Amino acid sequence: MIEKLEEKQITTKEYYRNSFLKVVEDDVLLPDNKEGNRVVVQHPGGVNLIALDNQKRLLLVEQYRYPIQKVTYETPAGKCEPNEANIITAKRELKEETGYTCHSLKSLGKLATSPGFCDEYIETFLAENLEKLTYDVPGDADEFINLHSVTKAEALALIKTGEICDFKTVYAIQYLMIHCGW
């Protein structure tokens, strides 16, 4: 049994950077005092919204996801901007992606998305008591989405067909079923 499962950075080399991602390769000291190598995608983090309308249907956005070459149904979500509190990001993303605001927004905690190669955490928020905005909120210029409100049965069917395939949306549905009697 290894007492201290920790790796310490020895050197780092940046390979790529854009407006919100950075890819680095680190040489690390392993728990057995040997050296290893780790490639890490650094990400500013994001938010995930479990948003229930007044009929207790889950709001999902339908969009094309280029990396997996398919259309998916997902919970509204987005990346955090520099120096922006996660709760502000959550309110902004709810408005931009759904056209709703909410009167109740509760943090459910953070999840690491892919800790084997990425440092991103997503904080999930439960948004209830939604109110449809009477004005259009501009979203991201390169984001094309359709909004859907689904029941539990419809959400489970979308998982079965693979149209819901991301962890944060599956987590949202499981959370609703376990903690909210959905």
Q: What is the pLDDT of residues 145-158, one digit of tens each?
A: 999 999 999 999 99
pTM of the model: 0.92
108 closest CA partner among 181, 177, 47: 47
Position 174 scores a pLDDT of 97
**What confidence score (pLDDT) does residue 135 get?**
75
pLDDT digit string (tens) for 48-97? 999 999 999 999 999 999 999 999 999 999 999 999 999 999 999 999 99
Select from 33, 31, 27, 30 the least CA-distant residue to 9.
27
pLDDT at 117: 96
Does CATH place domain 46-179 in 3.90.79.10? yes
Strand partners, 118: 41
**CA-closest candidate to residue 92, choices 64, 121, 133:** 133
Quick one: tokens of 74? 């997902």
